[in-house]
Structures are given as structure tokens and as C-alpha cells.
Amino acid sequence: MSAAHDTVPPEQTAAEHVRSVLARAISLTLTLEGQDVDLIGMHSVDADGRITLHLPADSPLAVRIATGPGDGSPAVLEFTDIAPTPLRDRVRARVTVSGRLVPTGAPGGGAARLEPARVTLRTATARHEVGLGAFALAEADPLAVEEAAMLTHLADAHEDMVADLVVLAGSRLPHGVVRAMPLAVDRHGITLRCEYREGHCDLRLLFPATARDAAEAGEQVRRLLTTPRCAHHHRHPSPRP
């Protein structure tokens, strides 16, 4: 067997996947004292993964956090990663970060930072407990923020290219695909969702070289279509209902 087949294909680590989800998230669900609150455009994530909520100082939520225990209020933040393209089963991952919310004391009085105690990543195929050290040191994929624009452009303006990418799977892909849509892209490759009349499966195609930005990712997609099929790595689980 060749070295290319013996080598584990490059993928994001669980910690990198979590940081990528956080990098592109614009909303989250906060669970505090048994109550769920959806917050849109009211958080930030710094380079070390620290999550800060930016709440109106006079809001009941900010007051509740400010008057909570001295060591912070127990809280859970959940981020849902949804595919930007209109395909079946659009939830790609869920990230849960639990810990204690502590007021930052910043001007304005409504900011609170989560001191994390546990980070969990759930996807359609696995659940990962991510260590706090790995979480803090990991970086988001360089395509994370631009991914939505890239995938929607590919779906809306390049249906022929998507169809050509599916052809790369050859006989490895079960027959009967009725539609294929871009599901995800990262520096290592692109994933397509192949839908059947009943169920679907995902097709992962690795780039010939790692992409550092959106322009390079576009070039790597073009290279995929001109590289011999044997050079690609494919993964496609059985169709799911």
C-alpha cells in the first residue's frame, strides 16, 4: 500500500473545529438559572477563546449576573453551527461551553466573561470533550469567517462545478443522487452533501495543497477538477435518513 493511503488525511482537530464555530457564530443560547435566553450579536471571542457577553447594563440579565455569587454565576453557552446552503439537515455541529459568568467591571457595566470549565463539540457522527488548554491554544480555520460566502457562491453560481466534483467520487458514491450541495469547506478540503430520495451522505474531497485564504481555496477546487482521481481522498458514509 502506498504512503498516501497509509497517512491519516488532514482534518481540523476538535479544538480547531470549536474555534471555527465560535469565529463565525453571530448568536448563542445562554442557559442561566434554568432559563434559556437567545442572544444575537451580543458576544465576542478573543484570541484565547475567552467569550464575553455584552449586555445592556440595565437589562434584567445583566443585573442578575452582577448580583450573583462572588465567584460568578453558573452558566452554559450553546452555539449551533448551521450550513449556509439550503440542504437537508443543516445543523453541522453544536458547541457547548459551560462555566461561570463573571462581570468584567468594564465601563457600561453590562459585560460578563465566561470562565470556562468544560467545552464539548457534537457533530452528526461524534462527540468530543475538548481540553481547556487545547481550546485556548487552538486557532480557527483560516476560511471559517469567509466560508458562508464561499459556499453560497459555489451553490448559486457554479452548479456545474459542484456536479463535476461529485463525479470525482466515481463508483465509490452510491447511485441515485438527486441533488448535491456544498456543505462545508476548510483549509484542507471541501465537503458536499449528496442527497437521495431517502437519506443523504457526505462526500469529502481533500485539496491538493492547504489553502490559506478564500482565493487559494478557490484555486484548490479548480485543481481538484484537473487532478487524477486517485490523488483524492474520499469519505462517504452510508446514506442517512
Residues contacting residue 50 through CB under 8 Å, at least 6 positions apart: 113, 114
pLDDT in tens, the chain (241 residues): 333 344 556 889 999 999 999 999 999 999 999 999 999 999 999 999 999 999 999 999 999 999 999 899 999 999 999 999 999 999 999 999 999 999 998 777 899 999 999 999 999 999 999 999 999 999 999 999 999 999 999 999 999 999 999 999 888 888 899 999 999 999 999 999 999 999 999 999 999 999 999 999 999 999 999 976 544 554 444 456 5
pTM for the model? 0.91
What backbone torsions phi and psi does residue 69 show, to the nearest 5 degrees? -60, 155
Domain 147-231 CATH assignment equals 1.10.10.10: no
| Total residues found in the chain within this entry | 241
Q: Where are the domains of the chain?
A: 14-137, 147-231
- Cα(119)–Cα(18) distance, integer angstroms: 8
* Segments in 25-124 forming alpha helices (H): 60-66
What CATH fold (topology level) applies to the domain 14-137?
Answer: Pnp Oxidase; Chain A (2.30.110)
